[in-house]
Amino acid sequence: MAVDRVPVLKRCRSLGLDPIYLGIDKKSNRESKRANKKMSEYGTQLREKQKAKFIYGVLEKPFRNYYEKAARMKGQTGENLMIMLETRLDNVLFRMGIGRTRKESRQIVDHRHVLVNGKCVNIPSYLVKAGDVIEIKEKFKSAQRYKDILEVTGGRMVPAWLEVDQEALKGTVKELPTRDEIDVPVNEMLIVELYSK
């Protein structure tokens, strides 16, 4: 399986991204070497795509599949793409505050700790739907790991499209998010332009 081993803060610096969007509270003090160089149109489009892939932890092939699926759906391709990325199971757990970062949420799903509508799901890219109930399995709820996570994520804002009971480690998807509710600093129109070349 392909794994991205680039140091997170280094990657954030090269993409001009604040690590807070990844759930990381560290700051990088160094400046990017390319900070004041002019970028071509293709370069800015590519950077937006890399930003989206990096934030959601998606590799190129699945990302392209999301784009093609979004293009076939009704409505704007860019918005559909962002909504699909936002409704991935690992991202929803991160938004609910059950994982400190998306990588940690992905690991929780991989380790079969998560139930969706009462069924065990171990696929991080599983797309949740409106009305889905997501919770941690009963036998893992008392684990020290989740107490530690909730200490860190307790004050985090939960998006309006989710309803979360952090004590019970359980949440419901009230509705699919709109683009305005997704606070990711990505200009999806540039991604669409890049792929439609």
Domains of the chain: 8-85+180-195 (1.10.1050.10), 88-176 (3.10.290.10)
Alpha carbon 154 to its chain centroid, in Å, reads 18
User: How far is residue 118's CA from residue 72's CA, in Å, rounded to a whole number?
Assistant: 31
**Stretch 103-123: mean pLDDT, rounded?**
92
Helix axes 77-86, 89-96, angle to 10 degrees: 70
The dihedral of CA 140, 145, 148, 152: what is its sign? Answer: negative
The amino acid occupying position 151 is E
The dihedral of CA 63, 2, 27, 29: what is its sign? Answer: negative
pLDDT in tens, 4-53: 777 888 888 888 888 777 777 776 666 655 556 788 899 999 999 999 99
Does the pLDDT value for residue 3 go beyond 80? no
pLDDT at 39: 83
Helix axes 77-86, 41-56, angle to 10 degrees: 30
**Stretch 56-82: mean pLDDT, rounded?**
93
pLDDT in tens, 136-182: 999 988 889 888 888 888 778 888 899 998 888 899 999 999 988 88
pLDDT at 155: 77
pLDDT at 158: 87
The verdict on pTM exceeding 0.75 is yes
Does the pLDDT value for residue 1 go beyond 60? no
Of 86, 104, 97, give the one whose Cα is nearest residue 170.
Answer: 97
